[in-house]
Structure 1
Amino acid sequence: MNIRSVPAVAAGMMLAAVSLAQAQTAVGEMGVSATVSRTCTLSAAPLAFGTLSVSAVTNGSAVVTLVCNGTSTVTTILVGMGANAAPPTTQRNLASGSDLVPYTLHVLEAGGADIATEGAVTLVRVGTTNTYNTTLYGKIQPNSAYPMGTYGDTVILTAVYAP
């Protein structure tokens, strides 16, 4: 540092100190807020039976997942009959045009009772997360009379939860 600049620096510091001593301040407040609403997302993997057997039961399965923000009180979902049910409350069907292939849905891999119309299925919490899931199992009985084609159905799943 140059010796001539020392007095200039000292004078600058004194002016800054005088300016700070005369400085005024104002204080205000700012509010901060957020709203968290309960939301859940329900999804399911496709249940694909693949190519049907004419001599053995054809099985399929799909995992249903419910993810909620915050802890959910949802423990069940309702499983609809499907778009091709006939009559609308008794038999689930895959359809290809007017051709039908009956199928059943179960909560146990081994089968058991068919999930009824708007049947309630229990969800299981995954660890300590806000994710819940269950596996639905489908069965199609063998039948050599099913017409060739690609068959499909859409089943509505419903979770009811408090907002």
Structure 2
Amino acid sequence: MPDQSDTPEPPDRWRSLPIFERPGFLIRRLHQIHVALFAEECAGENITPVQYSVLTTLDHLGTADQTALAQAVGLDRTNIADVLARLSKRGLIDRRIASDDRRMRLATLTDAGRLTLERLAEGASRAHLRTIDALPPHERQAFIDTLKRLVDANNDVGRAPLRLS
């Protein structure tokens, strides 16, 4: 039996399918669902999933320049600047100009940012679990691995490619 990837897709295949069978629609819909679950589980902190990603990335990286941070979380330069400005205004991160390169802006998690991450830990974990909870436990890691493979394979076509390391 030939591999399915060897058989060309008819150009109208996806259009002929109901919308709830199209990968793009399903990915967008799952994202909407996860954002809603995150908001529910982390209510009261006024943090978005993207802001949470930035905070957790800074927690792992320590001090990071905006470009490296944008690449680590898959945001473009304009969006990372907006996210960092909001987090800075709330006192969750510190921003400063790099002493060795005045064009570079550095960000660091503050103590308030660390405390926020601690308060968010259980809620964010529940949101992640609830997003994949419909899958039997033995399928969850396979699902994550498949998502990672798709992101890795298509990373270069995104508006803000991740720095894969």
Q: TM over 0.5: same fold?
A: no
Larger Rg: 1
Superposition TM-score, scaled by structure 2 size:
0.20
TM-score (norm 1): 0.20
- The structure with the largest helix share of the pair is 2
> Which structure is higher in RCO with an 8 Å CA cutoff and minimum separation 6?
1
